[in-house]
Amino acid sequence: MKKRIRLNRKIKIVLILLGLILITFVTIQLFAMKGQRNIETYPYTVNKKYGTFEIRRYEATLFTSVKTSSKKYKDASSKGFSILAGYIFGNNDRNEKISMTSPVSMSLEDSMTMMFMVPKKFKKETLPQPNQSQIEFNEEPAKTVAAINFDGWANDAKIEKYKQKLKSALDAEGITYTNRFYFLGYNPPYEVFNRKNEVIVELQSKTIEQIK
C-alpha cells in the first residue's frame, strides 16, 4: 500500500514537471512569434512572382558584419551570431544596446560573412564602435535579387539544395544571375514553429533591365 502511494506521488510529480515544461515551452514560442511581428526587417518590394521564386528589389541598407573562416553553416553561423549579438547587446564603446532586426544574412562563399541589418534610426557615423575588431559596418547598395524560401531548420544540405533549385528555376526562365548568393534566416534559435529561411542571389544588370 505504501509503495503504491509513493508511486502515485512520483507520477504526480512527473506530470506536474511535464506540465510546467510544456507551459514554459508554449510561453517561449508565443513570445518569439510576438517578437517577430514587432521586429524591423530588411525592406524590399516584389517585382515579379514565378512558380517557386520571386524577384525582389532591396533598398540600400546598412549592416554590421563579421567574416568567418569557416564555410560550414553551423560553425559560421554560431561564431558570427555570437560576435554580432555581443555587439548589439552592449559590447561596444558606449555599452549601448541595439535592437535586433530580421533576417540574419550570410554570404554563401568559401568564407562566410554574417550580417545584421542596422535599425533605420542609426547612420554609420552614429553607431557605437564595436569592442571587437572583426566587426565592420557595410553599406549594402540597392539590389535586385531572386529569392526562394524553405521552412524548418537550416543546415548545409538544405541550403545547398535550395541554392541549386533556385539556379535551375532561373536557368529555365532564362534569367541570368551573379555568383553572389546569400542565406537569410528569419527566426531566433529558440523558435520552433513557423521557421522561415531563404536563399537569394543578385541578378545581372541586363536581366534587371528586362524584368523592368
Residue-by-residue pLDDT tens, the chain, 212 positions: 555 666 566 666 666 666 555 555 445 444 545 555 568 999 999 999 999 999 999 999 999 999 998 889 989 999 999 999 999 999 999 999 999 999 999 999 888 999 999 999 999 999 999 999 999 999 999 999 999 999 999 999 999 999 999 999 999 999 999 999 999 999 877 676 688 999 999 999 766 666 66
Q: Does domain 40-211 have CATH number 3.40.50.720?
A: no
pLDDT value, residue 127: 96
Domain boundaries, the chain: 1-38, 40-211
The pLDDT mean for the chain works out to 86
**Cα–Cα dist 143/47, whole Å:** 12
pLDDT value, residue 143: 95
